[in-house]
A = this chain, B = another copy of it.
């Protein structure tokens, strides 16, 4: 009968060697210190007994865990799961594990999660959380723990990041709308406290300026959060105050709220108003009407983030890196030429 827990000493005993030798024989890096035949015997014994090293003990000794913490603001937002998958897959290639946790966009909760993660000695962090300047990030940097941020660039210190090409995405949207004949274009912008909010807002003003089109303040409403409810509220406000024929929403969730508001007010999209989103999250092609939006390479973003982190963890580099990934404009039915 198999023991409940096979330890290194068991393997050593079974192979007739000292635990230290067994340890060296089992580790790729130290195997050369051991006689080939002895190593073979140890490996065979390990296999036979079904030995699995206890990561806890290893961590205590080495200080490393082969684990990266992934902090997500809101797991229920379909934007994140594909990114997480990319992260997990890439980490797994190097036998690293992702420790995933939700922060719910809640500062207190974020603090708690951070503590839990650090008490677990995770080797590095991937932050999908979105505040532009926060203490979490600051604390990690202060303690020299490797960090990569995804979908937001930090304001202050230099931290590696991965983000979609917000600029190119919004440009493409604006160009598309202008080409359709729109001249009065409004925007439901994201919160200015989030870097995506800011970046995309700037891109819109730049994009319109490039076409010689104005963006008067009454055609801009800032959402207080990237939520459907806020999208609805902002669109309602725009409908009351402007004669815009198209609205660029800072992300898909806001765009969905915009569509809600249009329906509420008895208006039709795209006949009365064109609407665009950003991210191309799940089911955006199934909306009524299907949403014109910007597709970002979700999984790729996760892959890239994990790669950058691994580079730091494996000591291959210490330089920070900023990856900006390409986007694609996906034209669907929520955009059309303006009425006359």
Spell out A's residues near B (CB within 8 Å): 4, 52-57, 59-60, 65, 75-76, 78, 81-82, 84-85, 88, 92, 97-102, 104, 112, 115-116, 118-121, 143, 256, 259, 282-283, 286-289
A119 and B81 contacting across the interface, CB-CB below 8 Å: no
A76 and B76 contacting across the interface, CB-CB below 8 Å: no
**Cβ distance A284 to chain B, nearest Cβ, rounded Å:** 9
Q: CB-CB < 8 A to A289: which residues of B? A: 288
B119 and A52 contacting across the interface, CB-CB below 8 Å: yes
A120 and B283 contacting across the interface, CB-CB below 8 Å: no
Q: CB-CB < 8 A to A118: which residues of B? A: 52
**Cβ distance A254 to chain B, nearest Cβ, rounded Å:** 14
Which of A4, A78, A121, A286 is packed against the most chain B CB atoms within 10 Å?
A286
Looking at chain A's contact residues, the main secondary structure is mixed
B53 and A119 contacting across the interface, CB-CB below 8 Å: yes
Task: Report the separation of the CA atoms of residues A119 and B55 in the bound assembly, to the nearest whole angstrom.
Answer: 6
Q: CB-CB < 8 A to A75: which residues of B? A: 75, 81, 84-85
Q: Which residue of B lies closest to A96 (CB)?
A: B116
Q: CB-CB < 8 A to A143: which residues of B? A: 4
Q: CB-CB < 8 A to A57: which residues of B? A: 60
**Residue among B85, B112, B287 making CB contact with A92, cutoff 8 Å:** B112
Given the interface contacts A76-B78, A78-B76, A102-B84, does A56 sit within 8 Å of B52 by beta carbon? no
What are 30 A-B interface contacts by the 8 Å CB criterion?
Answer: A53-B119, A54-B119, A54-B121, A55-B119, A55-B120, A56-B56, A56-B59, A56-B121, A75-B81, A76-B78, A76-B81, A76-B82, A76-B85, A78-B78, A78-B282, A81-B81, A88-B101, A97-B101, A97-B120, A99-B99, A99-B100, A259-B286, A282-B282, A282-B283, A283-B286, A286-B286, A286-B288, A287-B287, A287-B288, A288-B289
